Amino acid sequence: MNIESQNVTDYPNSNTIFMVWRLIDDPKLKGTFQQLCALVLNLNNSVFNRFPDSRASCVMGIGHNAWNILDLPTPLPKELVNFEEIKGVKHTAVSTPGDLHFHLRADDKSIIFDMAIEISKLLTPVAESILEIHGFKYWDDRSILGFVDGTENPHNEDRDFFAKVGDEDVQYKGGSYLFTQKYLHNMNAWRSLSTEDQEKVIGRSKENDIEMSDEVKPSNSHIALANIGDDLKIVRDNMPFGNPSIGEFGTYFISYANSFSTTKKMLTNMFIGDPAGNYDRILDFSTAVTGSLFFVPTRNMLDDFSG
């Protein structure tokens, strides 16, 4: 059988909507989920046919509790668990609930706005919306902190290798472990730093995105701790968001990986430190307020789930 993955390796787009839903106990839940799986497939097919150049897609992830509530196949994906917080001496990667996650992307925001409406219409009777973030491309793929984001992302066939489950879990081959965090930035504190000090926090030059040499790069810089080797990579699709009038500025961290253990090692390096106590300096300016793990089944599985 030809395995068709969801669009986990698509490149970041100009507009994104992220949605997290919590399921409620309702007799219509399982029937609605069947309709939802069919809807996700339909939305992707429709936008591909109607707007082939829009790079639009809808990716759905399913959390550990939801997998059990919905009586989905067992055994579960090997590393699908409820994310447990990672607590360092100063900062914590918090754990927050989430049953379903939607990642909507398109060049034209109208497309994903309508997608979000259709998903919400279907889910509202059986689920509670607990998070909705509208992300956008900021200049040349920079975060609101002003630095290019995602430079270390794999490309070409490496994206498939690092983002999708391989033969080590044949039942779920082609699926992906999706981890998300909403970060809020303290921009007043960040702007109080000189450009040189900001570069030491990140480990790259701000203007032209050149990584510092190992001799110069601080051991607690973001690059030094978040990048754990060429054999352990994830596919990031981070997007900035914000509401300037209320002083909210943030980054929605989203990663797809062939195993959650890779992402967990990165988080451990960042929040606990390597060695312990040498935590990622970016956390002094960026606070994680959510943290949830999901599994993204293949399109073949969504078709099976749809009944």
Q: Is the peptide bond prior to 12 cis by the omega test (within 30 degrees of 0)?
A: no
Residue 84 to residues 81, 96, 155, 274: CA-CA distances in angstroms? 8, 9, 30, 19
Q: Residue 20: inside a domain, yes or no?
A: yes
Mean per-residue pLDDT, 66-78 = 97
What local confidence, expressed as pLDDT, does residue 79 receive? 98
Contacts of residue 164, Cβ cutoff 8 Å, sequence gap at least 6: 5, 8, 9, 173, 174, 175, 176, 256, 258
What local confidence, expressed as pLDDT, does residue 168 receive? 92
Q: Residue 255: inside a domain, yes or no?
A: yes
For 166, the token pair is: 């391989």
Say which amino acid occupies 71.
D
The yes-or-no verdict on residue 206 having pLDDT over 90 is: yes
C-alpha angle 130-303-180 in degrees, rounded to nearest 5: 30
90-100: pLDDT as tens digits: 999 999 999 99
Q: Is the peptide bond prior to 97 cis by the omega test (within 30 degrees of 0)?
A: no
Short-list 62, 235, 257, CA closest to 164? 257
The yes-or-no verdict on residue 102 having pLDDT over 80 is: yes
* Beta-bridge mates of residue 24: none
124-183: pLDDT as tens digits: 999 999 999 999 999 999 999 999 999 999 999 999 999 999 999 999 999 999 999 999
Q: Residue 8: inside a domain, yes or no?
A: no
- The answer to whether residue 149 is catalytic is yes
What local confidence, expressed as pLDDT, does residue 230 receive? 87
Q: What percent of the chain has pLDDT over 90?
A: 98
| Residues spanned by the domain of 163 | 15-305
Q: Residue 158: inside a domain, yes or no?
A: yes
Q: Residue 235: inside a domain, yes or no?
A: yes
What local confidence, expressed as pLDDT, does residue 32 receive? 98
Q: Residue 249: inside a domain, yes or no?
A: yes
What local confidence, expressed as pLDDT, does residue 1 receive? 72
Is residue 57 within 8 Å of residue 155, measured between CB atoms?
Answer: no
Q: Residue 4: inside a domain, yes or no?
A: no
Q: Residue 5: inside a domain, yes or no?
A: no
Q: According to DSSP H, which parts of 193-298 are helical?
A: 195-202, 222-226, 260-271
The yes-or-no verdict on residue 31 having pLDDT over 90 is: yes
What local confidence, expressed as pLDDT, does residue 229 receive? 87
Q: Please give the biggest Cα pair distance in the chain.
A: 61
Mean per-residue pLDDT, 73-94 = 98
- Write the DSSP assignment of 164-219 as a string of letters: S--GGGGGGTT-EEEEEEEEEE-HHHHHTS-HHHHHHHHTB-TTT-PBPPTTTS-T
- Write the DSSP assignment of 118-147 as a string of letters: HHHHHHTTTEEEEEEEEEE--TTTB-TTSS
What local confidence, expressed as pLDDT, does residue 291 receive? 98
Number of structural domains in the chain: 1
Element (H, E) at 301: helix 299-305
Active-site hit among 99, 141, 149, 237: 149
What local confidence, expressed as pLDDT, does residue 179 receive? 98
Is residue 180 within 8 Å of residue 290, measured between CB atoms?
Answer: yes
State whether residue 149 is helix, strand or coil.
Answer: coil
